[in-house]
Amino acid sequence: MCRHIACLGEAEPLGEVLVTPAHGLLRQSWAPRHQRYGTVNADGFGVGWYAEGDPAPARYRRAGPVWADLSFADLARVVRSGALLAAVRDATVAGADGEAAAAPFAADRWLFSHNGALKGWPDSAAGLAASLPAVELLAMEARCDSALVWALVLHRLREGDEMGQALADTVTDLAATASGSRLNLLLTDGASIAATVWGDTLWYLEEPGRRTVVASEPYDDDPRWHRVPDRTLLVATRDDVLLTPLKEPTA
């Protein structure tokens, strides 16, 4: 269910990360190599990026497959950034939310993506949804499971949690409420990346002095890619990657 990627590094065209690599996100939309659930990611896509001197990210999202969007090819060729988050979507269930359901979701300085699915959606998440203030539920961009996961994460961020803590606690709560869910979450503020591995694949690549990449799967065959173990929290900057095991929720 979906492929996503975040990158921090030198400013360069978005396409150098998303399109040019032999197995970049563009190709992963129809030919992923490590996707465990689903085979084609054609239910929407999006990319978010940061411009120098502006903490609020820009986004480009569409409801259809990325390979059918000729405007994206132009955008990826000329827009440059040193920080991005992008995703291609395979929807959990059919819906009418269009591009509003496509990651990255955004608020304030953050960009977010969810690779996975909430088991038993939507009934399984009713309790956690009820725990959010009504104004935050009404502000959700879409009615899909990923939008609710983002609302839960965003609530914690705005309460003051660090990015890694916000993801880890949200995953623990969701896993306890909707056992069997797949909860690979990806978050960036343009300066650092936080991600969880819970039921699907995640890899990272460190290219000292150039870029740090965190992705559902490698975009090339560089031997420096490292697979992140399941049930792990990853926090990365341009210079460092830290892995911390995630605890299973208690009964």
Is residue 31 a contact partner of residue 66, using CB atoms and an 8 Å limit? no
Q: What is the mean pLDDT of residues 127-153?
A: 92
Instruction: Indicate if the pLDDT at residue 122 is higher than 90.
Output: no
Instruction: Indicate if the pLDDT at residue 41 is higher than 90.
Output: no
- Does domain 3-245 bear CATH number 3.60.20.10? yes
Residue 125, pLDDT score: 83
In which band, very low, low, confident or very high, does the pLDDT at 143 lie, cut at 50, 70 and 90?
Answer: confident
- Local structure of 43: helix, strand or coil: coil
Q: What is the mean pLDDT of residues 201-225?
A: 96
- Average pLDDT score over the chain: 93
Active site residues: 2
Residue 92, pLDDT score: 65
Q: What is the mean pLDDT of residues 46-71?
A: 95
Residue 126, pLDDT score: 87
Cα–Cα distance measured from residue 48 to residue 58, given in angstroms and rounded to the nearest whole number: 5
Burial 196-233 (b: 16+ CB within 10 A, else e): bbbbbbbbbbbeeeebbbbbbbbbeeeeebeebeebbb
